Every structure is written in structure tokens, then in C-alpha cells.
Structure 1
């Protein structure tokens, strides 16, 4: 049998901090590091820009990747007419539309992914239909010796 020990009178109450004032903001090592670097950022960017303009490819890459945000292509939803045939024919139509420039590659990839998911659903439906047919055939044949 276990008994709970009574907390000593000097113990902190639940939800009460042992250090109510806590560490002051900006007293940590990371905050000091950031404060020290912050004053040098404009000079670093200027140096990188000068190096990039002089032909330093790695400086140019660093500037383009870190300082200037990446430009994402604006992909508007374009209507696509898919053939009424098989999923394979529809997939080929999507690839042909991407190759012809009628459809953005990202949209083509999304459509192909959707067609793949549709193929899995169709396959599951077909398996379900076949299982039901087998179970019906098996149930009708049980009464016979």
C-alpha cells in the first residue's frame, strides 16, 4: 500500500514558477549572436552583390536563393478536354498537352496523380464487384452436393 507524501511547506504550488522574473529577453547566446550579426548584414549583402557582379557564380546563387525570394510560376487552371477512353488514353492526352505547352508541367503532374488515384479506385471497385459475384456463385452452389 502506498501513501502519498505530504509536500513540504516551502514547495512551489502547481502552476507557480520557481523563478517568476525568469531570464530577461535577449540574454541568451543566440540573441547576442543575432544582434552582433545584424549590424553587418548590409555590408555582407553588398560584398556578395559585388562578387556576383564580378562573375562569382556561388555568390550569385547565394543571393538568388537566400536574399531574393524564389519566383513561382503563376499557374492558372486551364480547362483540359480528356478523351472518354481508357485511363491510359487520358494520361497520354495529359502528357501530350504538357509537351505541346497547352498545360503547365505542375498541372500535368497533378492531373496524372489524379488519374492514378482514379485508377486505384476503379481497381478497388472491380475487385469488390468480382468478390460479390464469387460470393453469390458460391452461395447458390452450397445447397447442392
Structure 2
């Protein structure tokens, strides 16, 4: 049950971000589009849900480490939202759900798994890399339209 919370809070975060994050990210990083946001997050939802479901149903050392790494990756996303809010002096779409969900759930989950003797150093290292890759990807030109072609930033109403 511990790990099944992660995909749910990720979906809440996406609901906060999806409408404004692509435009905000384009102003501050590389060009992106709502279409790319949706496409990339379909993969992320599937991966996070699969990892967390596997860790919940078969809590082996490997799946537990991966599930904790995913949650730590969300925690690094919260740090990103706090940092960009401070740096840019404006609301960073996703800030509220990151602050209200990612931070406390990460603390709760780390407390539970540390009692179970999980290798937190490995999980935190993996999660930090995941979070870093997510932030680094913002500098890519991902202005991809709904037809998978570059240059179209049109979004459906």
C-alpha cells in the first residue's frame, strides 16, 4: 500500500501542471509543447504505476529500491519547483502539489522503508539521477505537435 500512493499523487501533480507548464517551461528553458507534455507523461505514468504496483505486490529488495527511487525523484521535482519559484519570482506550475504531496509522502515513505532496512543510499542516488534527467530534458527543443512533427505548438482547446 505504501507505494500505491506514488502514482496517485503523480496524477494530481500532472493535473496541476498540464495546462500551464509547457508555456512556462518554454519561457524559461527549451521550447516544449502541451502535446509533448502529454506524450512524455503517458510513459511516465505507465512506468511509475508499473514500478509501484510491482513493489506493492512483490516487495523484493529490487522493486522496493526502484519504488523509493521514484518517490525520491518526485521529491527532487518538488525541490525544482521551489527553486524555480524563487529564481524566477513567479508561480512554477506544479508547485502546490509538489509541496503538499511530494514532500510529506516522501518523508513518510522514507520513514517506513528505513525501518525495513531498505538500501536508501542506492534508492536516493537513482531518484536523484531520475530527477536530474527530468530537469535536464527541459533544455531540449521538444516543440512537438499532436502529429509528432516539430514546430507546431498548437494545443487542443
TM-score (normalizing by structure 1): 0.28
**Greater relative contact order structure (CA < 8 Å, 6+ sep):** 2
Structure (1/2) with the larger helix percentage: 2
Q: Which of structures 1 and 2 has the bigger CA Rg? A: 1
TM-score (normalizing by structure 2): 0.26
